[in-house]
A and B are shown apart, each in its own frame.
Chain A
């Protein structure tokens, strides 16, 4: 094996250039490419559910599509096929286009635009009718743009004296440079903001409204601002961590309110569909699990607390007993798990959302839903147990636990990857059909969902005038 996970035959077949010393750099490029794609997917989701004008949607989607495809192709080429700086330049071009699409999105989401106001008072809004959910999307987008700047500025030092490193390799270094702190802050806040974005998106998907919506949106806005500010200040003050904890608490509480709303709605909708007048607790319980594709995303949010937040808090409480005693490599496993797991859980949420909007129904929908939930939960529960093994088993007896948890992880992730390949294969075959889904979807990129804000009369007049011109 040339490198962990990459076999010699793969290297020979594809002509890969895998210098051992450049492994950290390859991993960083891979992470960036994946993050660019996920961010772009979220942008597509946002442009399909947040009210905006057609040309704005088209501009954003077109720019980001060229951006992520360029960044992906040339980023991977640079990482795995030799250091050709033509590739690196185009990788930066791709990323710049994504950033530019982000600016377009922020301008489009301008929450003080009087053309889009809340009319249905069940949605969170200000006294003037400004849409608080739109403000939440806006704050998240602007925070992400500023945070991307953190990475971009520090990244620009690369090849100018900045040596590539993985953040997890600095964990026991007592004094970190401003550049190292910036990069660590940047990667944490980007994943956090991706998580906040998906929470807002699935909230709209479930038509989040009512008292909980009115309570959750201000909390989410405040939490996003505090956590972002906390991370940006990490270079200058150790107090940053306090801001981050406070911001996280608010964001997580807003997400909890969404979960409560979504599960309640799932039960209510199913009971209504069944025509039950006085449902028992058991009937309500069964109703919750009726549609795994809609139950799943919110369950994954709850599950994230067991495998990520809970573990993090536990380890912070037991700091002296764990980090002072465990070897760095064990701490590193837990730390890398603590962000790989939420990243992968976010991916499963995106996949379930996609299965819903693709219109998959019936038994296939249920099979896909439960496979994603069970597969990913087995994998990440096993990985969490494996990373915390020192708490339950002494080293001498750890081998069977490691073997079984690794097997469970491979099994869980394996079935999800097979499923993903199936979905992608289906869409690829569909591309060659005359009456395919792709053309229908691109003809009407707006999803048929309830909107928080609507186009006002003033907005309609402006558009009318523009059309006349």
Chain B
């Protein structure tokens, strides 16, 4: 009895650590091609909560899924070899030419220089780093790449000749030309997107610690008894509501916040709608934040 309280503490600690121990889990094949792009035609669309009519006067393409851990690991290995980025103090760094400075009240200057792209040892990162090479953790290959800063996302896009979508482009790709609240309609079901209310259902399959779902997971398929409802945008894009927030490309003058769209697995329904915005400094990283790329059509 004398030592019972110590045993209790040990049991609690063990259970906490066990909860957070990295558990390998099953790779889930969604059948969605992560190298596919969707064409977004030029034209007017409804933008924002108040549905202002905006126009994008050019066609462009956007990835139908977020960039995956596997894709980003491949990029890191290539770019490290070429020397466009480098590892230093548990972080991947790279050059950014700087943001225009307006000397606005409290404006934070971002001059040309090297900026952090990604922390290497952050617990939420789903990449291994061994012998100077990155690889996705088992089972996470087709999950969205997270813990990447705006600089890191932009560097990926630049490396392949792509770019990050602007907020306007992102919202048109998510909403189409209609006035829906969500990419597919005006309601969201628990098995239609990865958001806070869908967590319980999803946890039955993957376990508590796994937060993200494989990109394109909500495509109407049945995964070991877990029936999903197709959650795609009018142009066929997956995960434009929930799973992870996505960086957009614009630099907002005077503040230099970068905006994120789409909501994440931590979001309530109202943040999954097509217009709510989230923002952070460009060096911010999170396990609920990823990105996808856009590209111009020649």
Q: In the complex the two chains form, is B124's CB within 8 Å of A396's CB?
A: yes
Least distance between B283 CB and chain A CB atoms (Å): 8
A245 within 8 Å of B by Cβ?
A: no
**Chain-B contact segment, one of A65-73, A200-208, A321-329:** A321-329
Flag whether B81 is at the interface (Cβ < 8 A): no
Contact with B along A157-195 (1 / 0, CB 8 A): 000000100000000101100000000000000000000
**B24-32, B217-225, B269-277 - the one binding chain A:** B269-277
Residue of chain B at shortest CB distance from A22: B49
For A2, the chain B residues whose CB sits under 8 A away are: 187
Asked if B120 is an interface residue, CB under 8 A from chain A, the answer is: no
At the interface, yes or no: B108 with Cβ under 8 Å from chain A? yes
Selected contact of A20 from candidates B16, B122, B181, B288, CB within 8 Å? B181
Contact of A174 among B186, B254, B268, B277 (CB under 8 A): B254
Q: Which chain A residues border B16 with CB–CB below 8 Å?
A: 400
Q: Whole-angstrom distance from the CB of B268 to the nearest CB of chain A? A: 5
By beta carbon, the residue of chain B nearest A171 is B279
Q: Indicate if B286 sits at the interface (CB-CB under 8 A).
A: yes
Out of A4, A172, A329, A397, name the residue touching B255 (CB < 8 Å). Answer: A172
Are the C-beta atoms of B20 and A396 separated by less than 8 Å? Answer: yes
Give Cα A238 to B106, complex, Å: 12
The distance from the CB of A458 to the nearest CB of chain B, in whole angstroms, is 55
Q: Give the interface residue-count category, chain B.
A: 35 or more
B contact residues around A20 at 8 Å (CB): 181, 186, 270, 273
Residue of A nearest to B49 (CB): A21
CA distance A397 to B287 in the complex (A): 11
Interface residues of B in 179-235 (CB under 8 A from A): 181, 186-187, 197
Q: How far is the CB of B203 from chain A (nearest CB, A)?
A: 11
Q: Is there an interface contact between B270 and A397, defined as CB atoms closer than 8 Å?
A: no
Please indicate the chain B residues that have their CB under 8 angstroms from the CB of A397 in the complex.
20, 123
Say yes or no: B281 contacts A325, CB within 8 Å.
Answer: yes
A21 pairs with B181, CB closer than 8 A = yes
Cross-chain contact B284 with A325 (CB below 8 angstroms): yes
The smallest beta-carbon distance between B214 and chain A, in angstroms, is: 20
Which of A174, A320, A327, A396 lies in contact with B284, CB distance below 8 A? Answer: A327
Residues of B within 8 A of A172 (CB): 255, 257, 279
A395 CA / B280 CA spacing, docked (Å): 15
Task: Report A414 CB to chain B, min CB distance, Å.
Answer: 20
Name A355-412 residues within 8 Å CB distance of B: 394-397, 400
In the complex, the answer to whether B181 meets A327 with C-beta atoms within 8 Å is: no
CB 8 Å contact bits of B12-49 with A (1 = contact, 0 = none): 00001001100000000000000000000000000001
Q: Mark A1-41, 1 if CB is under 8 A from B, else 0.
A: 11110000000000000001101100000000000000000
Residue of A23, A172, A174, A320 with most partner-chain B CB within 10 A: A174
A174 lies within 8 A of B255 (CB):
yes
Chain A residues with CB under 8 Å of B283's CB are: 325
Rounded to whole angstroms, the CA-CA distance of A458 and B269 in the bound complex is 65
Binary A-proximity of B260-298 (CB < 8 A = 1, otherwise 0) = 100000001111010001111101101111000000000
Q: What residues of A have a CB within 8 angstroms of the CB of B181 in the complex?
A: 20-21
**Are A326 and B287 closer than 8 Å at their CB atoms?**
no
Measured between alpha carbons, how far is A4 from B253 in the docked complex, in Å?
33
Whether B122 and A329, one on each chain, are in contact in the complex, defined by CB atoms closer than 8 angstroms, is: no
Q: Could you tell me the distance in whole angstroms from the C-beta of B261 to the nearest C-beta in chain A?
A: 12
Give every chain A residue within 8 A of B187 (Cβ-Cβ): 2
Q: Is B82 an interface residue (CB 8 A)?
A: no
Name the B residues within 8 Å of A395 (CB-CB).
124, 286-288
**Minimal beta-carbon separation of B288 from chain A (angstroms):** 8
The 7 closest A-B CB pairs, nearest first, are: A396-B123, A174-B254, A327-B280, A20-B181, A328-B279, A396-B124, A163-B50
7 contacts between A and B (CB under 8 A): A1-B197, A20-B270, A325-B281, A326-B284, A395-B124, A397-B123, A400-B19
| Known contacts A174-B254, A327-B286, A396-B287; 20 further A-B pairs (Cβ under 8 A) | A1-B269, A4-B268, A20-B181, A20-B273, A21-B49, A23-B270, A163-B50, A172-B255, A174-B104, A174-B255, A175-B254, A325-B280, A325-B281, A325-B284, A327-B278, A328-B277, A328-B280, A395-B288, A396-B20, A400-B19
Question: CB within 8 Å of A: which residues of B?
Answer: 16, 19-20, 49-51, 104-106, 108, 122-124, 181, 186-187, 197, 252-255, 257, 260, 268-271, 273, 277-281, 283-284, 286-289
